[in-house]
Structure 1
Amino acid sequence: MSDTDKTAPVLWWVRRDLRLSDNAALLAACATGASVIPVFLCDDLIDGLGAAPKWRFGLGIAALQTRLRALGSELILRRGPALEGLRALCAETGAQAVHWSRAYDPAQVARDTEVKAGLKSDGIDGQSHGGHLLIEPWTVETGTGGFYKVYTPFWKSVRTREMHVPRPQPKAIPAPDQWPESDSLATWDLGAAMNRGAEVVAPHLAVGEEGARDRLDRFIEDRVAAYGTARDIPGIEGTSRLSENLTYGEISPATCWQAGQRALHDGKPGAEIFLKELVWREFAYHLVWHTPRLLDRNWREDWDGFPWRDDNPEAEAWRQGRTGIRFVDAAMREMYVTGTMHNRGRMIVASYLTKHLMTHWRVGQLWFEDCLVDWDPASNAMGWQWAAGSGPDAAPYFRVFNPDTQLDKFDRDQSYQRRFIAEGQGSPEPDALSFFAAVPRSWGLSPNHPYPDPIVALDAGRKRALDAYQARKDAA
């Protein structure tokens, strides 16, 4: 920006970086010395989100508005195509530069490429910055110069890499003399599709930058030492639950990495597993960047002919948490009550749908996309393809999780299933009853109904899956 342009404001285009600390785009905007106008654009990519993530995004936006106002700033809200909205704001305010945090999935990359080219043609400086990831996907290469397709060597290649030190929030965000007009967040009605489920899920969330930081601090202090084993037990609070905050950028992965490294140096043994989980997220984005088909097509193209079923009545029972398989049903109900699902539960329900029910992983992936408040495009896609066998670093085709033996192993005291399954209990727990208040009325479910018999016998479902996999192998 030239000296003559220093009086022109700068736009900070807020996206999945709903925080003030360790935010490279915001810091770059403030470093210009100009006034900074934060703006959030509700474009087609926001409007196209599923019910739960769209609602949760709205809560995060409101929390950021509150933090900005405490600093004498504002968050300007506009609805419509991103380039159109930014051009309008530049024309209204005289802004000559726009800063934003980089995205990596193909839909956002295409939008951002169009935005940068359009701004450049207008003589406006558009700059993207890192921050959603620890490591830019194109900076990690194998010894032969390609990208990594297996997690373990990826982890080994980055675990000793020096990550950037998280940066504090700006001491001040210079305000313009006059703020442009803004939409009201309430008029966007981002939570409309949640219906009555919003009231059930809301108490389980930790919204905003302060909530995310508190969640990280409690995890490092109380739980990270035992994380290596506790993370597999769905009936206890053994995980960080930071996926909710990372997906909206309410906390940076660098902040989490630094906390994990500090815990590791303090001798807390579970910290290394926590760091590996952070890098698993990085690996998902590494793969999406290099092979975007991971998001909606079989990553292993030789799986394209596998005889998965499209949506079907058994898949609907799966969605309703009424399969008669207690681990599957408890995990699905956890999602409707809390907005998230324990990671072991995610593996079990995905394996059950794709293997015991022989249903295409896209059916489950799209349902998670609608229901999870911590939905992340890369992690969700990789998790589903890992479980189905069609993805990178996938479980062997012959690995078919038995939900009953998994429940016996990881829910020995039955606390998890009691917490979320009401049928058959004399005094159901509150979350078990909340499930019926959260799900669509059209499902017609009641805690007074008997618990269903299994829709598919586990041994028969396993045999059917293995027979199909063997037929695929023989054909290949």
Structure 2
Amino acid sequence: MTNSPIILWFRRDLRLTDHEALSAAVRTGRPIIPVFIRDPLLDELGAAAKLRMGLGIEHFGAELAKQGSKLILRSGDALTVLRKLIGETGAGAVYWSRLYDPANKTRDIQIKAALKDNGVEVQSFTGQLLFEPWTVETKTGGFYKVFTPMWKTVRDRALPMTLPAPGTMPTPADWPRSENLNDWKMAAPMQRGAEILTQYCVVGELAARDRLDEFLEDKIDSYVKNRDIPGVDGTSGLSENLTYGEISPRQCWHAGWQALHNGKSGAETFLRELVWREFAYHLAHHTPHLLTGNWKSEWDSFPWNKEENHKVEAWKQGRTGVPFVDAAMRELYVTGVMHNRGRMIVASYLTKHLLTDWKIGLNWFADCLIDWDPCSNAMGWQWAAGSGPDAAPYFRVFNPVSQLDKFDPKRSYADRWIAEGKKQPTETARSYFDMVPKHWGLSVSDDYPAPIVDIKDGRERALHAYKTR
């Protein structure tokens, strides 16, 4: 089997640089068959994430073609697909980059065991994280439940340098059949909003590296301040590309450390944000219920509203009558991303002012985010609700009015996304009405709504509920 092909199963690692599984496969000298599988877990993606994944697959396939290779597309149960490909090609090995969320991890463990039982060589490699969850422990051998101690533990940990992209990829004499990406209709769930959303996607490995370079050159010095100002393009934007593995966290880590050594003032905060992402996966590995239920069980009896009522609908549509909330929700719908300050505001508003179950917000974000990440999304929502690790204390109820005064005093962010009542609304504000489902019945000429809850009354109601839970 020494000359048999290796099936290289790509998932959320759509790049050539710093790709351990790819580099290991190339070192063998054996033919490599790159494969992407549309399995049930991929089909479960929300509308925006599915569109963005389709763009990533298309772009990566084109990059492989430049290398003289191909990306073979197949649909179905992943184990069944892999077994069929092994039979068709005579492949003796399957390599992949590890995923760490509970659903993918469970699937991969089962596949690895089944293929090994069939006599197939299976190897998995790191790639999605800096520090695999089981390699980070407290002094007593447990896992971290608070972020800052974990940050202090990993901050100075040495990591291997990034791997170069291979110069060539050995190819098989005969290629197996590939499905057509167009037949997968990855953008279909976005319906009429697909064309607008696509304009905001920054796709591919080269674009991701350019994003990192631009951030380090122009933005990192002011990152600590500007990362909180939604009207300023002050962040790296790399969460989108990290989600699809178009850049590795290790590339970002080493670049961040180099910036720190060069005296860039915001570099350490950038590095902490990379570890915050790691913290989410660390917790999901050790406490997988983070993704599906209250991390703190004492919150199970909290009287959340669990219904899709008119207030929840107004929140989803960006029609709460609270400009900061509405602007952020519209930014999410149009661009597939939301400024981090906005994420905190809209999550606090839903879970506290509206006393609505955080899982309703989590599911809406899963449908709307192009940078959707199961672990980070869940941890962020539970942080805001108070039910999770490192949670915001119950008495921290963000006031979306004063927050707008503080972080958007000239209303540049609000004006960018809210059209109603404006003589000349911005193109971005108008685009929201071109994207939303027609059955919502929204028009740019509508009056801006009155607040669905009084901010002060909502806060007092939330504090009472939290104190007496």
Kindly provide the amino acid, as one letter, of the partner of residue 202 in structure 2. Answer: A
The reply to whether residue 117 of structure 1 matches residue 117 of structure 2 is no
TM-score of the aligned structures, taking structure 1 as reference length = 0.98
Aligned with residue 371 of structure 1, among 368, 373, 379: 368
Asked if the contact 2:319–2:449 (Cα under 8 Å) also holds between the matched residues in 1, the reply is yes
The reply to whether residue 389 of structure 1 matches residue 421 of structure 2 is no
Kindly provide the amino acid, as one letter, of the partner of residue 407 in structure 2. Answer: F
Aligned with residue 319 of structure 1, among 316, 321, 326: 316
Written as runs of structure 1 = structure 2, the 5 A alignment for 1:401-440 is: 401-440=398-437
- Percent of counterpart pairs with the same letter? 61
CA–CA distance in 2 between the matches of 1:259 and 1:433?
38
Asked if the contact 1:6–1:33 (Cα under 8 Å) also holds between the matched residues in 2, the reply is no
Asked if the contact 2:216–2:259 (Cα under 8 Å) also holds between the matched residues in 1, the reply is yes
The reply to whether residue 447 of structure 1 matches residue 454 of structure 2 is no
Kindly provide the amino acid, as one letter, of the partner of residue 63 in structure 1. Answer: H
CA offsets, 1:382-435, max 9 Å, x none?
Answer: 000000000000010110000000000000111000000001111000000001
Kindly provide the amino acid, as one letter, of the partner of residue 193 in structure 1. Answer: P
SS in 1 for 2:79: helix
CA–CA distance in 2 between the matches of 1:29 and 1:255?
20
Structure 1 stretches of 4+ with a deviation exceeding 6 A read none
Written as runs of structure 1 = structure 2, the 5 A alignment for 1:268-287 is: 268-287=264-283
Aligned to 2:227: 231
CA–CA distance in 2 between the matches of 1:211 and 1:336?
22
Asked if the contact 2:188–2:194 (Cα under 8 Å) also holds between the matched residues in 1, the reply is no
SS in 2 for 1:127: strand
SS in 1 for 2:247: coil
Aligned with residue 185 of structure 1, among 181, 188, 198: 181
CA–CA distance in 2 between the matches of 1:202 and 1:42?
20
Q: Give the deviation of 1:172 after TM superposition.
A: 0.7
SS in 1 for 2:95: strand
SS in 2 for 1:335: helix
Q: Give the deviation of 1:258 after TM superposition.
A: 1.0
Kindly provide the amino acid, as one letter, of the partner of residue 249 in structure 1. Answer: G
Aligned with residue 33 of structure 2, among 37, 62, 69: 37
Aligned with residue 7 of structure 1, among 3, 9, 22: 3
Aligned to 1:336: 333
The reply to whether residue 72 of structure 1 matches residue 68 of structure 2 is yes
Question: Which piece of structure 1 moves more, 83-92 or 202-211?
Answer: 202-211
CA–CA distance in 1 between the matches of 2:140 and 2:118?
41
Aligned to 1:354: 351
Aligned to 1:133: 129
CA–CA distance in 1 between the matches of 2:257 and 2:104?
31
CA–CA distance in 1 between the matches of 2:341 and 2:152?
24
Q: Give the deviation of 1:117 after TM superposition.
A: 1.1
Written as runs of structure 1 = structure 2, the 5 A alignment for 1:145-294 is: 145-294=141-290
Q: Give the deviation of 1:6 after TM superposition.
A: 2.3
The reply to whether residue 58 of structure 1 matches residue 77 of structure 2 is no
SS in 2 for 1:182: coil
CA–CA distance in 1 between the matches of 2:321 and 2:213?
38
Kindly provide the amino acid, as one letter, of the partner of residue 401 in structure 1. Answer: F
Asked if the contact 1:298–1:391 (Cα under 8 Å) also holds between the matched residues in 2, the reply is yes
Q: Give the deviation of 1:31 after TM superposition.
A: 1.4
Kindly provide the amino acid, as one letter, of the partner of residue 469 in structure 1. Answer: Y
Kindly provide the amino acid, as one letter, of the partner of residue 78 in structure 1. Answer: R
Kindly provide the amino acid, as one letter, of the partner of residue 204 in structure 1. Answer: Y
RMSD, matched Cα: 0.6
Q: Give the deviation of 1:214 after TM superposition.
A: 0.9
Kindly provide the amino acid, as one letter, of the partner of residue 34 in structure 2. Answer: P
Aligned to 2:396: 399
CA–CA distance in 1 between the matches of 2:142 and 2:252?
28
CA offsets, 1:87-143, max 9 Å, x none?
Answer: 000110000000001011111111101110111111001111101000010111111
CA–CA distance in 1 between the matches of 2:367 and 2:63?
28
Asked if the contact 1:227–1:270 (Cα under 8 Å) also holds between the matched residues in 2, the reply is yes
Kindly provide the amino acid, as one letter, of the partner of residue 191 in structure 2. Answer: N
Kindly provide the amino acid, as one letter, of the partner of residue 74 in structure 2. Answer: R
Q: Give the deviation of 1:450 after TM superposition.
A: 0.4
Asked if the contact 2:47–2:190 (Cα under 8 Å) also holds between the matched residues in 1, the reply is yes
The reply to whether residue 104 of structure 1 matches residue 63 of structure 2 is no
CA–CA distance in 2 between the matches of 1:386 and 1:291?
15
CA–CA distance in 2 between the matches of 1:319 and 1:245?
25
Kindly provide the amino acid, as one letter, of the partner of residue 300 in structure 2. Answer: D
Unaligned 5+ segments in structure 2 are none
Kindly provide the amino acid, as one letter, of the partner of residue 254 in structure 1. Answer: R
SS in 1 for 2:68: coil
Asked if the contact 1:98–1:125 (Cα under 8 Å) also holds between the matched residues in 2, the reply is yes
CA–CA distance in 1 between the matches of 2:269 and 2:167?
35
TM-score of the aligned structures, taking structure 2 as reference length = 0.99
Kindly provide the amino acid, as one letter, of the partner of residue 355 in structure 2. Answer: M
CA–CA distance in 1 between the matches of 2:362 and 2:67?
40
Kindly provide the amino acid, as one letter, of the partner of residue 420 in structure 2. Answer: E
Kindly provide the amino acid, as one letter, of the partner of residue 346 in structure 2. Answer: V
SS in 2 for 1:298: coil
SS in 2 for 1:99: strand
Q: Give the deviation of 1:342 after TM superposition.
A: 0.2
SS in 2 for 1:199: helix
Q: Give the deviation of 1:33 after TM superposition.
A: 1.1
Aligned to 2:24: 28
SS in 1 for 2:74: strand
CA offsets, 1:260-298, max 9 Å, x none?
Answer: 111111111011100000000000000000000000100
